[in-house]
Amino acid sequence: MDESLVSDKRRRLDTPNVAPLNDLVRSWRSRGADRSIPWFDPDDGGTGAKVLILMESPAPRTVGPSGSNFCSLDNSDSSNRLLGNLIEEAGIRRADCLKWNVVPAALRDELGAPRAARRADVEDGAHRLREVLALTHRLQIVLTLGSAALSGFMLAITGEPPGRLYKVLAAPHPSQRNTSSRAQSLRRIENALRAIAADLELDDDRAWGQQTVQQRRTAAARVPQS
């Protein structure tokens, strides 16, 4: 990500849409959590998002010395570039989305190399994900990318007494390395995003219809009775 864009995002860490979420990041860090937990992106919908795009964990380079330190579709790695393009092509507004990872901190093995999430990582991440969900009151749809994201989200919403019901779609992680299945994986992500876009459009139509009905009722109430 370009340094000027990173600097601009840093200046907006506490804008209203992400301030509660980035306060949550600060609280995790202050409680001794891994300092590699990145910030929520102020260019996402934040607490007002309707769609959560949930992946596995941050890439170590994202939170490294030259990384953006943001969980962002604007990061320059191939997975985020691909995902950002697919979201745009589906016609989904960035302001309707919130990108996050079920394991919020970067994962490394004993030698410092990136590693996959283990069960304990996902279980710990699910507890923190519940805190995120508690702040996103408009959230309706969850797209999980990869098996760890799906497992962690389901654990987050079923590990305690249920509070809300979400529409959940699951697709492979966009960094699928198996070339024989990559085309199928991309089709699944594309289809999931198109379904989400259609549902959001339908939701907008319903909201417009309700607003129109309310306006008519208000206008009728103002008509003098003869």
**pLDDT of 180 strictly over 90:** no
SS3 content of the chain, % helix, strand, coil (to 5): 50, 10, 35
Tens digits of per-residue pLDDT, 79-133? 999 999 999 999 999 999 999 999 999 998 888 888 999 999 999 999 999 999 9
pLDDT of 216: 55
**pLDDT of 26 strictly over 60:** yes
pLDDT of 114: 86
Banded pLDDT at 220 (limits 50, 70, 90): low
The count of other CB atoms within 10 Å of the CB of residue 77 is: 15
* Domain ranges, ordered by start, for the chain: 3-222
Beta strands 167-171 and 70-71 are unpaired
pLDDT of 181: 81
pLDDT of 213: 45
Whether the CB-CB separation of 156 and 123 falls below 8 Å is answered with no
Lowest mean pLDDT among 76-80, 160-164, 190-194: 160-164
Tens digits of per-residue pLDDT, 43-88? 999 999 999 999 999 988 898 888 999 999 999 998 999 999 999 9
Whether the CB-CB separation of 55 and 101 falls below 8 Å is answered with yes
Provide the CATH topology of domain 3-222.
Uracil-DNA Glycosylase, subunit E (3.40.470)
Residue 87: what are its φ and ψ, rounded to 5°?
A: -65, -45
Rounded Cα gap, residues 52 and 164, in angstroms:
14
Q: Tell me what percent of the residues of the chain surpass a pLDDT of 90.
A: 68
pLDDT of 217: 54
Tens digits of per-residue pLDDT, 129-155? 999 999 999 999 999 999 999 999 999
